[in-house]
Amino acid sequence: MTTTNQTLFEKSQQLIPGGVNSPVRAFRSVGGTPVFFKKGLGSKLWDVDGKEYIDYINSWGPMILGHAHPEVVAAVQAAAANSLSFGAPTGLELEMAELINKLVPSMEQVRLNSSGTEATMSAIRTARGFTGRDKIIKFEGCYHGHSDGLLVKAGSGLLTFGEPDSGGVPASVAAHTLTLEYNNTQQLEEIFRQMGDEIACVIIEPVVGNMNLIVPHMEFLQTLRALCTKHGTVLIFDEVMTGFRVALGGAQSLYNIQPDMTTLGKVIGGGLPVGAFGGRKDIMQCLAPVGKVYQAGTLSGNPVAVSAGLTTLKLIQAAGFYDKLTAQTKKLMDGLVEAAKQVGVTFSAQSVGGMFGLYFSQTCPSSYAEIMRDNNKAHFNQFFHSMLDSGIYLGPSAFEAGFVSAAHTDGDIAYTIEAARKAFAMLA
């Protein structure tokens, strides 16, 4: 029998490239038909056929409170009643900037925009304007949005200059991007020794969520901070995913490393499109209208989106919020590891705050090369579809982090572990 999901996907492919508006949603990595959703509440989702799922994507992170939280919905409704957009300043923008500065003190000044891609693109432009330099460093497997200079093929060797990893990106643009191996301190030291004074900025996910979950080595982050300081290079923490996800102050508070600039998104919109970038005041003063670096946006600081984000940020400051979120996520990881062990399936898992990573490998990877080499993608794909059949919605790729929300109950965790036990048994 043809499902509504299948019918919608077939029709979508006629009018939307690949049938989706963001590539991973097409299920190309895992096979099968993508799920079309119509409702979310708390930890649950319902698709167009009425099937219920426990959601571990959380809209790729923003739904830290769960879906349709009543206070967030009420804030959105109240803001929308006053107008959907002004294209002019509002007091809400100031309130958001003040709250971000309070929770992430390294962000002395803040500029709001509409997406994480905008935030990282604008932060890099600002860093280049501030330093007067062109070259930037990123790391293999780290995703910072789809702006041209960041869609660069992951290199495997020292001083790998970027080659476009997407059609439509000129080689001349990508050539300014140097790609290094995540967690490779020696490689980092060597590139700064050779051309440190030419590098405008280094952009990094302090906890990686776009090649599954990769945790940084402390020596690596500390060395990075020291080298950027020594050479006058702007250190940008891309906390679009980790900001308010792994801790109230973001990954920078967990690891006690202060970047020069930070990019935010996802959680600060409460599920609506919001991005932000900010940092040291002397750097941010390079932005128009006070400086020479131009950045603008018609919907920047949209009042409806900012209202959702403000309400979310206020609620996550509740006492014990992150202790409980972290504990629930760890409980899920420990249960999955034990379930796999019982049937002899090679599997590992780890979590940071409300983010987690699942790997069909002996140990948790620490770099792009390791996860590409060691993770059993075929096993993940079988596991994914077994879990989907059981009503567990995981990211449709072996190379994406997962997310737990405050709405996930002990019952949700127990059901998920039991479903995984059956899925692992099929792989044994």
Tens digits of residue pLDDT in 127-154: 999 999 999 999 988 888 877 677 664 3
Per-residue model confidence (pLDDT) at position 428: 85
* Three-state SS sequence of 355-396: EEEEECCCCCCCCHHHHHHHCCHHHHHHHHHHHHHCCEECCC
- Amino acid 152: pLDDT: 65
**Residue ranges of domains in the chain, CATH in brackets:** 4-64+319-427 (3.90.1150.10), 70-315 (3.40.640.10)
* Strand order across the 392-393 sheet: 37-41, 44-47, 52-55, 392-393
R_g (Cα) of the chain, nearest Å: 21
Instruction: Tell the residue number behind the tokens 């432009």, with chain if given.
Output: 125
What pLDDT is stored for residue 165 in this prediction?
A: 62
Q: So what's the pLDDT on residue 153?
A: 47
| Backbone torsions φ then ψ of 226, nearest 5 degrees | -65, -40
| pLDDT tens track for 215-265 | 999 999 999 999 999 999 999 999 999 999 999 999 999 999 999 999 999
- What's the mean pLDDT when you consider all of the chain? 93
* Residue 131 neighbours by CB under 8 Å, 6+ apart: 200, 201, 232, 233, 234
What percent of the chain is modeled with pLDDT above 70? 95
Predicted local confidence at residue 148, as pLDDT:
67
C-alpha distances out from residue 393 to 31, 153, 192, 327, 366, Å: 14, 29, 43, 20, 25
Sort residue 145 into left (φ over 0), alpha (ψ -120 to 50) or beta. left
Question: What pLDDT digit, counting tens, does each position of 389-419 carry?
Answer: 999 999 999 999 999 999 999 999 999 999 9
Residues in the chain where the model's pLDDT stays below 50: 153-162
The Cα 107–Cα 97 span in angstroms is 9
Active site members: 143, 238, 266
Residue 166, C-beta contacts closer than 8 angstroms, at least 6 positions apart: 146, 151
Task: Locate 71 and state its tokens.
Answer: 């206070």
